[in-house]
């Protein structure tokens, strides 16, 4: 089981990275805070995690109009982790 799925890169998260050394990841729904801390420190060497906050993001209704009429559905339920870094730095764009 992979704990960290992918980083969440938005304007708000970029601002948090610069101002407060907080990084956001999409994580497995069953992942705990200690597991997330270990996974971040293992994935990014030289980084020490100070704090982990988690939130389960709700499913939202989505829909679109097609030739055959309205197609409704929902987005998936997902969990995000906001990780505060004590020392070190994570560069998401260097990995690409």
Which residues are bridge partners to 52 per DSSP?
83
CB 48 within 8 A of CB 87: yes
Q: At which residue do the structure tokens 């101002």 appear? A: 19
* Phi/psi at 32 (5° precision): -100, 165
Give domain limits for the chain: 4-90
pLDDT in tens, 12-44: 999 998 888 899 999 999 999 999 999 999 998
Q: Whole-angstrom Cα distance, residue 92 to residue 78?
A: 20
Answer CATH for 4-90 from 3.40.640.10, 3.40.50.300, 3.40.50.12780, 3.30.70.330: 3.30.70.330
| pLDDT of 92 over the 90 cut | no
Q: Whole-angstrom Cα distance, residue 56 to residue 27?
A: 10
pLDDT reported for residue 89: 72
pLDDT reported for residue 86: 86
Kindly state the percentage of the chain with pLDDT values over 90. 74
């Amino acid at each position: 089981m992979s704990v960290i799925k992918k980083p969440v890169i938005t304007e708000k998260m970029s601002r948090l990275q610069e101002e407060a050394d907080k990084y956001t990841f999409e994580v497995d729904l069953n992942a705990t805070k200690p597991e997330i801390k270990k996974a971040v420190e293992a994935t990014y060497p030289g980084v020490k995690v100070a704090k982990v906050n988690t939130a389960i993001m709700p499913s939202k209704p989505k829909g679109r109009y097609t030739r055959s009429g309205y197609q409704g559905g929902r987005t998936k339920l997902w969990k995000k982790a906001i990780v505060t870094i004590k020392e070190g730095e994570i560069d998401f764009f260097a990995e690409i």
